[in-house]
Each structure stands twice: as structure tokens, then as C-alpha cells.
Structure 1
Amino acid sequence: MSSTGHAAYFHSAHKWSPEGHRKVGGSEAWLIWVLATLFVVWLFAIQTGYAVVSPNIQTSANLSIAQIGLAASAYTWAFAVVQFFSGSLLDRFGTRPLLTIAVALVTVGAFLYAGTTNFGTLIVAQLVLAIGASFGFVGAGYVGGKWFAAARYGLMFGLVQSFASLGSAIAQPLIQASLSVISWQQLLVAFGAFGVLLVILFIMFVRNPAPQLGAPAVAAPAGNVFGQIFHDLAQAFSNYRVVLSAVMAGASFGAMLAVGVLWGPRLMEARGATDDFATILTGLAWLGLAVGAPIVNVISNRWHSRKWPAFWALVFQAAAIALVIYLPNVADGAALVLMFAIGLFAGGHMLGFTIAGEAVKGELIGSASAIVNGFCFIVAGVLTSVPSLFLPDAPTIGSFQDTLWLLPVVVVIGCIAALIMPEKKLAEVVAA
């Protein structure tokens, strides 16, 4: 491929490296993408593993359920704030410094997590984890966009979400099984040790792409970087389709994350499920997301519509969440189906990124995506913290039913955002 062809696929700041030209879609590209995806899977396992280890942390550190919920929300809020900057920072500085630093931060966070003895330590661990993790998902998407042909960007991004969700589905039962053999502190130290290995691999192999001759691999950012980021974010926020897509995706993924990270297993345990079965049910929700995330854009293209697949996915997700919370008796088989359905229909949140990307100019796609992803975690923070403030220390199923009504209501708000979303001429978009 000519240098002109390469320029179509790479940001102009990433040009030539003194280490030599690197092939688009070649073996090095796949190695870097695998490492970036492994980073996402690893940090998702730590993140969703909080649902499994939080009862142990609560007991060991003598915390209340409100403090456990606030710690979970601290992670999501910090993640959301840093998320607004991560995409633009990657555009300006590249993967080599930032992703390695991000992996190192998550590693430090895992060790802090293992050393939790009080509420303050837990909060610090969550904040450090969140700052590093905020570069994970968007960083893997960035690698897919820079190291592979433009036409494969959507596929590579969808695969990252699928692997991350699948990893979460597998990790939770494995974490639960591990806790019968080792302590939760030893488990988190093992996560941290893996992070040390990952940092070494990132230092050794992760590079920035180099499509053109005669310039440094990453050009120095011009002007005030943060001023430019705020300007781009303001422009993206001024587009009402971006705002509606952020509300829609935030409602869907925020409810999914609240169920998958905290409330799912707690609710099932209150219904009388064993710890092992509750963990399996939560893992099924993540498995559903692994299935739903990559196919929603296929359905959207077939229907020649963005809003209606998103709307119906949100409707079914709200119904599944409401049934899990309010059905008087949930048989084991029905619980398995409902939890899988929550994740499956949460895959509709991926259309929020698609809608936002199609609503803005090319140079604002990163900012628009950051807004959508940031909203996802802001909503998740609200849905993990607010209910915990109103729950007693020993909640019953009735206590959960009186409090968790917020989850389906928020998803219904997402339905409304999807319903009033103006439809773009998708036939032209799909044909392009």
C-alpha cells in the first residue's frame, strides 16, 4: 500500500518512526491489538470481580453496604471524568507512553485493592484503578483504528467489547471458585502480579504506527492541549444527537454495569440463591453482552435504522431488569434466561457510539465517543451509589425491591431518548 493509502487510515500526527515502517494489519499490528485487548479483559475482570469479592471486603474491613456501594460509584465517576480526556490524549501522544502508564496504574490499584483495611484505602484503590482503566477500552479501539485498515475499525472495536464481556462472564465464576482456595487478598495480589508482567510486555512491544517518511512517530502537540480538548468537547456537546445518544447508551450500559458489578449477585442472594449460583447468573449477563454488542450494528444496517434497534433493545432490557427485581418467585431456569437477556439487550448501547460518530465531523469523532462512554459510567455511578444510600445493613428482597426501581426507570428514560432521536439517512451511511 502507498504512503497516500496509509494516510487515509492513520492520524496525521503518527508518521514515521526511526525504527522503520510498520505494516498495517501485519503481525506487529495483531500483537499490539492482542496486548491492548488483553489489558481490557484483565481490567474488566478486576472491575466486575468487585461483585464477587465485595462481601469479603465488607466483612474484613468492617464496612457497611452503603460504603461498598459508594466505593463502586467512586470508580465509575472517576472513570467517567478521565474518560472525557483519554481519547484526545491518545490522539496527541500515542499508545506507547499512555497505555503503558495506564497498565501500570491499574497494577498499582490492584495491589492497593489487596491491601484494603478501611474505607479510605478502598476509595484510593478504586480511584487509581479508574484512572488507569479509563484508557483501556478507548485505547484498544484506538489501536484497532490506527493499526488496521479503516474499513475494519468497527469490527475490531466490536471484538474488543465481545472479548471484554466474555472475559467478565468467565472471570466471575473463576473468582468465586478461587475464593474457596485462597483469600481475596491473595487473589488481588495475583491480579497485580499479572499486571507487572503486562507492563513489561507493553514496554517491550507496544509502539505507535508509522505511515509516512520524514517525520517523528508522534508529533508534539501544538498549543494548549487541554484547551483544545475542552473546545472539541464543547463542539460535540452542542450536537443534540450526540447528547441523545449519550443518554441512550448511558442508560443501557449504566444499568448493565450496575447489575453486573454490584446489584445482580446481591439481589439473587437475597432471593435465596447460593453465592456460586448468583455469580453464574451475573456472568450470564456479561455473556449476553458479549453476544449482543457485535450483532447490534448488523441488525441496525439490515433495518436501515439506528433508533429503532436501539429503542427495542432498551425496552426489552428494562422489562428484563424489572422482572428480575419484581417477580415474586424466580425459578432457576427463568433467572438464567432473564440475566442473559439483560446483557444481550444491553448490547444496544453500542449504537450510541455509532450514532454519535455519524452525527459529527470526522475530527470530533473521538470527543463524541468520549462523551458517550463518559455518560455510560456516570449513569453507572448513580445506579450503584444512590440505591445503596437507602438500603439497610442487612437488606431483604423487599428492601431491594423498594430501592432498585431506579434501574428500570433509567432504562425507560433511555428508551425516550432513542424514541425522539431523529433518524439519519442510513441508506447512504450503510452504502458508504
Structure 2
Amino acid sequence: MGGYIAPPGNRLRFSRLGGPEAWLIWILATTFVVWLFAIQTGYAVVSPEIQETAGLTLAQIGLAASIYTWSFALVQFFSGSLLDRFGTRPLLAIAVALVAVGAFLYAGTTDFATLAIAQVVLALGASFGFVGAGYVGGKWFPAERYGLMFGLVQAAASLGAAVGQPAIVFFLHALSWQQLLLMFGTFGAILVVLFLIFVHDPDTHPAQAPADAPPRPNVLVEIFRNLGRCFSNVKVVLAAAIAGAGFGTMLAVGVLWGPRIIQARGADADFATLMTALAWLGLAAGAPLANVISDRWRSRKWPAFFGLLLQALAITLVIYLPFEGKGVASVLMLAVGLFSGVQMLGFTISGESVEPSLIGSAAAIVNGVAFLVSGLLTSIPSSLLPDAPDLADYQAVLWIMPLVVLLGAGAALLLKERPAVDAA
């Protein structure tokens, strides 16, 4: 997990894992994730503006969010294997460029077709973001720090979302949503240049391949072979179910349903956005904390199980508990994000369950399933809600969210582990 065989033509120098260059590249990769997360979660803030400007219905807004998540999930399964095959250069720079182009297209939304195209282009690039940052952590840092580094990526992304959503509300008082998205796109163009200059895989002491080594298979053959090997691993499948339940639900809350539920309770849009930001702040704390607790307990199974149970309880209370006070809303939304941090154990479990050459593929499967779940949790309720739903309408359809989290808790119970944490 910590070493990379430098292909012919790479610079003839060796990289120190965990050194200054490693941190620079990890920071750039994490910045990519924070930036695209701000675009993803900002949809919860700008979607009402887009809905009004483009004359769209709530169902179309929900469908557009689902198009993003479905496209993301589909490409996600391939992105991890592509990273395993080709490394970070130039794949991550291309991914950043796609997100930037998507942001510019997003800014030009005038009808549903334009919005849908923008979402697809954004998803193509974004599918390399989170997994790419995890891949960087796995290659540039020692193997035992893989789970923690991945948790720190999620923490940074969640902090970005927590700060980004109120910041978007603030900027929307001075700028149009189109101008704001143009700013996002411009930042992406700058990031592309930085990726082209700095981001690459570590160069370590190369091992000589045997002279009679068979040629590598076709790219698509290798991708499907890697995916097949990962899907045949029961722990990877269970890890995907755990992460899918935890993060898929959190993403549905943070991108669409959180602000809608809070506003249906009578709050204004600014307070609803603040509450959603609080959920992302909770995830920022919960993501690294989940791995710390798991390591201390020397277990992946029980932290995942109890964390998902508490997340299901928090989501249920947000939807169904009769309350009016802002304090109750704040505590519950913070809890939703905090306990959803157990989704990071899905990445840790999958990474520990496969050989280093499959780490990108395994992480991509876990993240892809999370976005598939999120897509279901945005599209299904959207199709069942009226055009102007009230709180009772939301409560009638959003029971599916705590149910999905409980199913994830059931998957955690199926994990088999030794008294000490499995390392294979």
C-alpha cells in the first residue's frame, strides 16, 4: 500500500513516504475533494434559485440530483481501477478539469436538459475525487495510516461543506447563482494547473519484473477482473453496505432533504442551510473519530453497528419528532452527521481486505455504492412528493432513510473478525 513500482521513463529519484512532498500532494488532492464537495452540497442551497430561474418543478430538481449520483456511481466503479492501473498522473488533473467544465455548464442552466448535462459532466470528474484522495493517502503514507488519512479527507470535505453552505448563502446576497458557479469553475481551472505541475505517484525503488512476465491485459479486461475480485470478497461487499447506509443517507440529507425538512417545520432558508452545515460539521468530527474508536476497540464490527443504530435514531427524530426550538434541531442535525462518520469504516474494512494493488478498486466500489444509495434516497421520495409538500408529506415518504441505515447496521453484524482487528 505504501510503495509504487516506478514505470520506465519516471524521474530517477525516490520519494519519501509521509514526507513534505507527500503532504503537498495529499493537500492538493484533498483540496480537490473539498472544492467538489462544496459544489455537490451547494446544490441544496442553489437548487431553489435554479428551480425558480429555469422554471423547473421539485421533481425535476430531485431528478437532476439523482442524475448526478447515478452517473457518479456508474463511473466510480471504473475510476478506482483506472487509478490502480495508471496512477494519479494525469488522471486526477483530467478529473479536476471535468469538474471545472461542469461548473461552467452548471452556471449556464436555463432548462432541465442543460442542468442534466452539467450534472453528468460534474459526476465524471468528481468520481475520481474522494477515491483519488484516498489513493494518494494509500500510496504516499505508510499502510497503517490508510484509514486515518481517508478519515481526514472526509473531515476536510465535511468542514468545507459546513463552511461552504453558509458561505454560498452569504455570497448569494451579493452575486447571482450563475456568477457564484463561474467562480467555482475559475478556481477549478487554477487547480488543474497545480495538479499538472505537482501531482504524481511516489517513485520508490523499482523491482525488476521477470523477463518472462506475461503482458498486462487490456484495460477493460483488467478493470472488470479487479472489480470481480473485489465483489467476490464478502468483506468488501459488507463494507460497501455499511458505507452506503451511512454516507448515502447523509448525502441525501446534506444535499437535498435536510434544508427541505427544516423549512417545512417553519424555519427560513438561512436557518435551514445553517442546520445542514451543522450536519456536515458533525461528519467532519465523526469521520476520523470512527477510525480512532475502532482502533481503540480493536474492532470494526461493533463501532459500525452502534454508530449506524444511533444515526438511524437521529434521522428518525429529525423527521418525526415534534419540535419547534432551534436548539433541538441543532443537536439532532449535528448527531446525524456525527454518527454518519462510521461510513469511513467501510473504506477501512475494504482496504484491509484486499491486496495493495486492488485498493483503488475496493475504495471505488464502496464509494460507488454510497452514491447509488444516495441516488435512490433522492429520486424515490422526489417522485412521491407533491409539487408543494408540507411536513406531513415529507414524513409520509422519508421513512425510507432510517430503514436504509438499519439495513446497514444489519450488514455490520454479519462481519466476521478476530478479537484483534483483521489486517487482511
TM-score (norm 1): 0.93
Alignment of 1:169-318 (within 5 A): 169-212=162-205, 222-318=216-312
Give 1:60's match in structure 2, choosing from 53, 56, 67: 53
Tell me if the contact between 1:308 and 1:418 (Cα under 8 Å) persists in the aligned partners.
yes
Q: State the match for 2:212 in structure 1.
A: none
CA distance in 1, matches of 2:301, 2:19: 36
2: CA distance, partners of 1:162 / 1:303: 21
1:146 maps to what in 2?
A: 139
Kindly tell me: are residues 238 and 151 of structure 1, through their superposed partners in 2, closer, same or farther at Cα, counting changes over 3 Å? closer
Return the offset for 1:258.
0.2
Kindly state the Cα deviation for residue 15 of structure 1 after the two structures are TM-superposed: 7.2
Q: Is the 8 A contact 1:15 1:211 kept in 2?
A: no
Q: Do 1:16 and 1:210's aligned partners in 2 also have CA atoms closer than 8 Å?
A: no
Give percent identity, aligned residues only: 64
Partner-residue secondary structure (3-state), 2:89: helix
Counterpart Cα distance in 1 of 2:35 and 2:365: 24
CA distance in 2, matches of 1:54, 1:296: 32
**Aligned in 2, Cα 1:244/1:374: closer, same or farther, shift over 3 Å?**
same
1:336 aligns with 2:330: yes
What is the Cα deviation at residue 214 of structure 1? 9.2
Query: What does residue range 116-155 of structure 1 map to in structure 2 within 5 Å?
Result: 116-155=109-148
Moved more, 351-360 or 338-347: 351-360
Pairwise CA distance, 1:198: 0.8
> Tell me, which stretches of 5 or more residues in structure 1 are unaligned?
1-7
- TM-score, length of structure 2 as denominator length: 0.94
- Would you say the 8 A contact 2:147–2:347 is kept in 1? no
Measure, in 1, the Cα distance between the counterparts of 2:110 and 2:41. Answer: 20
- What does residue 99 of structure 1 align with? 92
* Superposition RMSD in Å: 2.0
CA distance in 1, matches of 2:141, 2:353: 23
Deviates most, 70-79 or 301-310? 301-310
Cα 1:201–1:348, aligned 2, differ >3 Å: closer, same or farther? same
Deviation per residue, 1:381-400 (Å, 9 max, x gap):
00011100011111111111
1:361 Cα deviation from its structure 2 partner: 3.9
> Runs of 4 or more off by more than 6 Å in structure 1?
none
Specify the alignment match of 2:15 in structure 1. Answer: 22
Change (3 A) 1:215 1:67: farther
Q: Residues 361 and 149 from structure 1, CA distance in 2 versus in 1: closer, same or farther, beyond 3 angstroms?
A: closer
Q: In structure 2, do the counterparts of structure 1 residues 173 and 215 end up closer, same or farther at CA, with 3 Å as the change threshold? A: farther
Instruction: Report if aligned partners of 1:111, 1:189 keep a CA contact under 8 Å in 2.
Output: yes
Q: From the superposition, tell whether residues 142 and 357 of structure 1 become closer, same or farther in structure 2 (CA, over 3 Å).
A: closer
Q: Which residue of 1 aligns with 2:43?
A: 50
- Kept in 1: contact 2:4–2:202 (CA 8 A): no
Secondary structure of residue in 1 paired with 2:109: coil
- The residue type paired with residue 396 of structure 2 is D
- Segment drifting more, 64-73 vs 8-17: 8-17
Pairwise CA distance, 1:215: 8.5
Cα gap change, 1:335 to 1:122, in 2 (>3 Å):
same
- Letter of the 2:290 counterpart: V
For residues 362 and 15 of structure 2, the distance between their equivalents in structure 1, rounded to whole angstroms, comes to 29
Letter in 2 for 1:51: A
1:395 to 382, 389, 393: 389
Pick the aligned partner of 2:62 from 69, 80, 85: 69
State the SS of the aligned residue for 1:22.
coil
Aligned length: 420
Matches of 1:379 and 1:206 in 2, distance apart? 31
Which residue matches 2:315?
Answer: 321
Shift in CA distance, 301/29, structure 1 to aligned 2, threshold 3 Å = closer
Pairing partner for 1:372 from 347, 353, 366? 366
In structure 2, distance between residues paired with 1:48 and 1:112: 17
Q: Which amino acid aligns with 2:246?
A: S
Could you tell me how far 1:117 is from its partner in structure 2?
Answer: 0.3
| Counterpart selection for 1:383 from 358, 377, 382 | 377
Contact 2:313 2:402 in 1 (8 A): yes
Q: 1:41 aligns with which of 12, 18, 34?
A: 34
Unaligned runs of 5+ in 2: 210-214
Letter in 1 for 2:251: L
1:213 positional shift: 5.7
Offset, 1:85: 1.2
Deviations 1:284-339 (A, max 9, x none): 11010010010112211222221111111111111111111111224210100000
What is the DSSP-based 3-state SS (H/G/I as helix, E as strand, rest coil) of the residue aligned with 1:95? coil
In the other structure, the counterpart of 1:420 is 414
Distance of aligned partners of 1:404 and 1:427 in 2 relative to their CA distance in 1, 3 Å threshold:
same
Q: Is the 8 A contact 1:258 1:383 kept in 2?
A: yes
Task: For 1:388 and 1:286, locate their aligned partners in 2 and report how far apart those are by CA, in whole Å.
Answer: 22
